[in-house]
Structure 1
Amino acid sequence: MPFSSKSKRRNWSKSVDNTFTTVEEARQRASVFLRENNREPRVADLLLEHYLNLSFAQLLARARDPFPEEVRAEFVTSVQEHATTGRPVQHIIGYAPFYGRDFKVSGDVLIPRPETEELVVGVVDWMKKQKLEHPSVVDLGTGSGVIAITTALEYPQSQVTATDLSADALAMARHNAEIHEVDVHFAQGDFLEPVAGRPFDVLISNPPYIDWDEKEAMDDTVTDFDPELALFAQNHGLAAYQTIIKQVKQEEHPPGLIAFEIGHEQGEQVKRLLDSELPLYIVEIRKDLNGKDRMVFATLRD
């Protein structure tokens, strides 16, 4: 993690002349300032896209345009805030992209990562191959609801339920479902517990999987702003998988597919858990686009 939380911060107003006149000048000065403060320079682009209401391509095309005075103060303040506190850009602007859509986020939910999109792709592809007409899907530990909502939108004939232990997270997920005008049922509780006994075709989850021992090495943009409930798990990061697998084992009607997102070093461990506790499943570890183990798919044997 190259952008350390322990780096010395500088002050925007003292270090950078913020009297830029064009969009490109604003972009360059903000990027340099962020880099000097050990933050991702790309944040400057994200903030400009937001405040100028432009796509990245439009941002480049309008590089020589005069910088609008009506958003100067907000842009400068946002760059300063991210540089000095590490507050994620998604929290500053209030939303995060996922699967081509924007979702509301806050400190109550995990900011969605691009890798999780691949988990949804795998689930939707499986349902299509199975030619399921009205599959029932449950998303455990839904957070902002991106997995459940995206699955429901990408496979409209599915019936999706989402659970979370956090009432605040469920409130955010419900809000996102309303924004995207999709019907998802929400229930509060510990993973599968609030919907135990109900048959599901698909169980999907991106649970907390980071070992508590790793916290000190993580960047402050994560540890200071993402909820610990969604990040960390006991037993070397495996506790959530153990709980879910135990719950599935108690079900009379196990799902046809179990799909987990995992830490990139947890593939074999999660596979062993599934092989040991749920021998009726065929377990496959899948890599993400970066070539790292990122997903485990377990399909029920015929």
Structure 2
Amino acid sequence: MTVFEALKWASSFLEKHGREASAAEWLIKHELNVSRTELLLQMQDEMPNFPSFEAKINEHASGIPVQHIVEKEEFYGRTFRVNHHVLVPRPETEELVQGILTRAKALFSDPAKATIADVGTGSGAIAISLALELRNQDVTAVDISEDALKVAKENARRLEAPISFLHGDLLQPLEGRKLDIVVSNPPYISEEEYATLDPLVRDHEPIQALVGGENGYELYRRLAEGLPKLISSPGLIGFEVGEKQARTVARMLEDSFGERIQVDVVKDISGKERMVFGVVK
């Protein structure tokens, strides 16, 4: 069997099982350890170790996310290790990172010296991206899951990002500190919505990284209530939020900070209100 024939079989097999045919290309590139250009050049070569590739296709057809099969995902130009202990980084979260970078450079004379905390870090994608993009040595990543922190620490080590890690619930490990920037992509799915999620997500990603209480707002409320004690002035807050949650989360920050904060709701590339930023005066 040639590489072309293996790819054609895999694409058809996945489509018959209700999966995206494009996943076949992703998995065959991983199996062959090649780029897309290299794959195209090898199409008429014999497919090496087809049983291994076939097993990966069957795993995905059965409902396992591609990212968990290959144990990696691209985020902000870097490759992050992921597994079932962490949420797979999404493209829209890259827009949250970009929003923080843009505002940090406008707000602080030297954002490389800002104290930054990523609350609910998961794979560490946000914290690591901010540390490397800002060349910042004072980034702290917090997570309630020790298993998630292991993944984040491995990503930081491999990408040579100078991150400090704390285990604990939301802002609790940060008590007594003063922070210039706080960013968070907390769980924001309601319990009702969780039951309707795509099985690729619901059955394979950690529930504590997805569900934000009965109505999806619990963690935002706790963050908004606790941040006034921790954030410096000037300070910057950035949240990723679920669709249709932005206005409510913005009001939570305004209620907690009063006139001290200027809150902006920002749309993502798809035109959905998915980010809330607050600048503390």
Q: Is the 8 A contact 2:183 2:238 kept in 1?
A: yes
Q: What's the TM-score once normalised by structure 2's chain length?
A: 0.94
Q: What's the TM-score once normalised by structure 1's chain length?
A: 0.88
Amino acid at match of 2:50: R
Return closer, same or farther for 1:285/1:134 CA change in 2, 3 Å cut-off: same
Rounded Cα–Cα distance in structure 1 between residues aligned with 2:261 and 2:231: 15
Amino acid at match of 2:10: A
Rounded Cα–Cα distance in structure 2 between residues aligned with 1:246 and 1:117: 26
Return closer, same or farther for 1:36/1:294 CA change in 2, 3 Å cut-off: same
Rounded Cα–Cα distance in structure 1 between residues aligned with 2:19 and 2:131: 35
Structure 1: gaps of 5 or more residues: 1-20
1:239 to 218, 224, 238: 218
Rounded Cα–Cα distance in structure 2 between residues aligned with 1:126 and 1:264: 22
Q: Is the 8 A contact 2:123 2:151 kept in 1?
A: yes
Identity of aligned residues (%): 42
Distance apart, 1:214 and its partner CA: 0.8
Rounded Cα–Cα distance in structure 1 between residues aligned with 2:193 and 2:161: 37
Distance apart, 1:224 and its partner CA: 0.8
Aligned to 2:192: 213
Distance apart, 1:63 and its partner CA: 2.6
Q: Is the 8 A contact 1:199 1:255 kept in 2?
A: no
Aligned to 1:281: 261
Amino acid at match of 2:119: L
1:131 to 66, 90, 109: 109
1:97 to 60, 74, 98: 74
Q: Is 1:229 equivalent to 2:208 in the alignment?
A: yes
CA deviation map 1:107-148 (0-9, x unaligned) = 111111111111111111222223324111000000111111
Q: Is the 8 A contact 2:262 2:278 kept in 1?
A: yes
Residues 66-105 of structure 1 mapped to structure 2, 5 A cutoff: 66-68=46-48, 71-84=49-62, 86-105=63-82
Rounded Cα–Cα distance in structure 2 between residues aligned with 1:105 and 1:255: 34
Rounded Cα–Cα distance in structure 2 between residues aligned with 1:117 and 1:131: 23
Q: Is the 8 A contact 1:197 1:252 kept in 2?
A: no
Q: Is the 8 A contact 1:22 1:64 kept in 2?
A: yes
Rounded Cα–Cα distance in structure 2 between residues aligned with 1:41 and 1:255: 48
What stretches of structure 1 move > 6 A for 4+ residues in a row? none
Stretch moving more, 272-281 or 225-234: 272-281
Return closer, same or farther for 1:252/1:124 CA change in 2, 3 Å cut-off: closer
CA deviation map 1:25-63 (0-9, x unaligned) = 222221111111111212111101111112223323433
Distance apart, 1:235 and its partner CA: 4.2
Q: Is the 8 A contact 1:200 1:254 kept in 2?
A: no
Distance apart, 1:169 and its partner CA: 0.8
Structure 2: gaps of 5 or more residues: none
Q: Count residues in correspondence.
A: 278
Amino acid at match of 1:233: G
Q: Is 1:109 equivalent to 2:86 in the alignment?
A: yes
When the two chains are superposed, the root-mean-square deviation of aligned CA atoms in Å is 1.5
Aligned to 1:37: 17
